[in-house]
Amino acid sequence: MSLLSRRNFISFSLYSSLSALAAATIYPIIRFILPPKIPQAVQNEVVAAKIGELNPNSSKIFKFGPNPGILILTEDGKYKAFSATCTHLDCIVQYQTEMKHIWCACHNGHFDLFGKNLSGPPPAPLEEYTVTLINDEIIVSKKI
Ligand code: FES
């Protein structure tokens, strides 16, 4: 084996080893930083509250699967439920008792009690859910 080919062989071995070491070090770090996506179960119905839990002209934020929902008991005693995720930049909306509509504090977005975007930057209405009263529970489900 000539000197040049021995030098090439040693260089190749050294660079190969360093490359393998770098890959073995960097790969776990990347896997830690970017965790695998875990599929979430689809939830179409949830118990949002018990009857009597809300006073008229008030609201409650509830969990609808991984997302927040908002349940509102209007002044005239009707339950309304919507996705509580603002359609602008995903802030959580709230019910404003003085204005009697839904408001997003992030950028002053306003929605009426049908979920329609009234003013501010939200580009689309809130998703409205179906509310059903069964026994003493308020069941919220996605509209089909
Ligand atoms: S996130 Fe709601 S108005 Fe911007």
Domain boundaries, the chain: 1-38, 45-142
Q: What's the CATH architecture for 45-142? A: 3-layer Sandwich (2.102)
CA of 123 to the centre of ligand 1 (A): 9
Nearest CA, atom 1, ligand 1: 89
Per-residue pLDDT of the chain (144 residues; tens, 9 = 90+): 565 688 888 989 999 999 999 999 999 999 889 888 877 777 899 999 999 999 999 999 999 988 999 999 999 999 999 999 999 999 999 999 999 999 999 999 999 999 999 999 999 999 999 999 999 999 999 987
Bridge partners, residue 61, by sequence: 70
Q: Which atom of ligand 1 is nearest to the CA of 120?
A: 3
Beta carbon of 92 within 6 Å of any ligand 1 atom:
no
Beta carbon of 110 within 6 Å of any ligand 1 atom:
no
Beta carbon of 60 within 6 Å of any ligand 1 atom:
no
Global confidence as pTM: 0.74
Task: Give dist(CA 65, CA 70) in Å, integer.
Answer: 13
Instruction: Cite the DSSP H helix spans in the chain.
Output: 3-33
Give me the count of residues in the chain.
Answer: 144
